[in-house]
Structure 1
Amino acid sequence: MKNLVHPIATITTTSGLTGDVRLRPLSRYFDDYIEGKQLMLGFSPDTSEDVRLEIVTGMGKKRRFKFEGVDTVSDAEKIVGQTIFIEASREDQINMIGKDLLGYEVFAESGDLVGILKDVMWLPHSDVYVITNGGKEFLIPVIPEVVKGINHEQGVIVISPMEGLLD
C-alpha cells in the first residue's frame, strides 16, 4: 500500500540572518513529525523535494527552524509560502484526522450507516468526528476504543459506538 502525504506546516517568514524561518503548524501532530522524520518542501506534494531540518532554536511560538542548504536570508525568502509535507503509513495516527477523510461514510460495526463525516475538530483531549445523517449530527471521539478502522480505498470509517453516543 502506498503511504499518504500530509501537510504539517507552512513557512511563514524569515527569522534572523542565517536562513532561519518560522512555521505555522497545520496539524496537531506537527511536533511529532517535524524533528527526526523525512520532510518534503514545496507548494504541493507532487512538486515537493526532500529537505532536512538542521536545527530548531527557541521555544513555543518563538521557535526558529533552520533547514540544510538554506543559509542566508535570501535563501529563506525563496521558501517562504511553501509547505512542509510528511509521508505516513496507512496505520499512522495522523491518517485518522486528515481533511481527506471528509465525505467518508461512517458505519457502525453492525453494518448500520451512521452518516457522513463532515468535519474533524481538534479538541484538547481528543479529536472529534462531526458526522451528519439527515438532520442529526453526531460527535464521535477519535479514540481507538471507538474508531475501529478506516478504508481509504472505499471511503469508509467503521466505529464501535459507546452506549448513548448515537442517541
Structure 2
Amino acid sequence: MEGCFNMGKIVNTHGVKGEIKIYPYTDDLDKFEFFDYLYIEGFGKAKYLIESSRVHKNMVLLKFKGYDDINKITELLNKNVYIERKDSPDDGEGHYVVDLIGCEILDENGDLLGHLKDVLQNTAQDLYEIKKVSDGKIFYIPVVDEFVKQIDIKQKKITVHLIEGMME
C-alpha cells in the first residue's frame, strides 16, 4: 500500500469478544496505543477503527470497533496491518524496520558488503540479515553498538564493524 508501511501481522484471536493478537514489526509496542485506525491487507483502503489496544507477552492485543465476536474477526487472520506514514507517531529520532530494509551495508572503509534483507527481532538483540554482494549468501550481524557504527536512513546506508568470521 503506497504511503503506508507494515506494522505487524494478525496471528490469532484473543478471547471470544473480537480481540486480535498482532505480531508487531516494531520494537515499540506502545505505538499501537496512538493509532486511531489500521488498514488490513487485502481489504483495500478501508480504515479499521481501533477501539482498544494493549501489550501482552510481547504481542499487541487489539480490538476494532464493530468487531465484537470471534466469528467476525477470523477473516482477518494472517493478514498484515498497515498505518499511513503521516499518521504514525514520530519523535524525529527513531526509524522503523521498514526504513532499514534494502539499505546498503558498508564496512568502515566504505566498501559495499551487501544489502539488508530483514531484521530479526525475536532474539536477545535484533539481528540484521544481510545478503552479500559477492556471492548472494546470507550472514547476520547483531544490532549492537560494537558492530553497527552508523545508520543513515536518508542515504539508505549502514556502516558496520566486522570481526573475523562474521561473514561466513
Stretches of structure 2 lacking an aligned partner (at least 5 in a row): none
Q: Which residue of 2 aligns with 1:34?
A: 32
| Larger CA deviation: 4-13 vs 71-80 | 71-80
Contact 1:13 1:23 in 2 (8 A): yes
Distance change (3 Å), C-alpha of 1:116 and 1:66:
closer
RMSD value, Cα: 4.1
Q: Which residue of 1 aligns with 2:101?
A: 101
Distance change (3 Å), C-alpha of 1:141 and 1:54:
same
Q: List per-residue Cα deviations over 1:21-53 (Å, max 9, x = no partner).
A: 332414253733333334413225962415224
Contact 2:119 2:126 in 1 (8 A): yes
* Percent identity (aligned): 19
Q: Indicate whether 1:92 and 2:94 are aligned.
A: yes
Distance in 2 (CA, whole Å) between partners of 1:79 and 1:34 is 17
Distance in 1 (CA, whole Å) between partners of 2:165 and 2:37 is 38
Contact 2:10 2:76 in 1 (8 A): no
* Post-superposition offset of 1:114: 2.0
* Post-superposition offset of 1:101: 1.0
Partner-residue secondary structure (3-state), 1:98: helix
Q: Indicate whether 1:148 and 2:145 are aligned.
A: no
Letter in 2 for 1:43: E
Stretches of structure 1 lacking an aligned partner (at least 5 in a row): none
The normalised TM-score by structure 2 is 0.62
Partner-residue secondary structure (3-state), 1:65: strand
